[in-house]
Copies of this chain bind each other. A is one copy, B any other.
Amino acid sequence: MKKTYSVFETELRVRPDDIDMNQHVHNSRYFDYVLAARFDQMERFYKVSMEDFTREGYGWVIDTAHIEFKRPLRLGEYFLVRTWMEEIETRGVRVGFEIVKKENGKQSCAGTFHYTMISLETGRAAVIPVWMIERYSI
């Protein structure tokens, strides 16, 4: 039976410097929003901040990103970034996400990021330790 994982949510707001020549959020900034939400959620929900990771000698690198853009966010908009584990593998995780407009709950974009865990010492992929799998299995 496949394990399902919790969905976590972070509220953010579009900054003026996120807006591009088309008057809506620049495509690459959605990436940054998901990253900001992951940092926030790792600390608040998984109780293992990026600093903890580094201290333990581990790091995450993104190896694949997939995004479907639906509705652009606009200047000053509030939005919710939801992320969840889709798969915990031996040396990596696949994280799903969606960004929805706070005003009406409509989806702005959605996708998945695949991260590999690396040892900061060797720079190579490392087996995710049991304690970390447990923290993520919520």
Contacts and interface: CB of A to CB of B under 8 A. Distances in A.
Interface string A20-56: 1111001111011001100110010000001000000
Q: Is the interface of A mostly helix, strand, loop or mixed?
A: mixed
A68 B63 contact: yes
A69 B75 contact: no
A22 B120 CA distance: 11
A19 to B, nearest CB: 4
A36 B63 contact: no
A66 interface: yes
A57 interface: no
B76 A43 contact: yes
Contacts of A28: 17, 28-29, 31-32, 35
Interface of A: 15-17, 19-23, 26-29, 31-32, 35-36, 39-40, 43, 50, 59, 61-70, 75-76
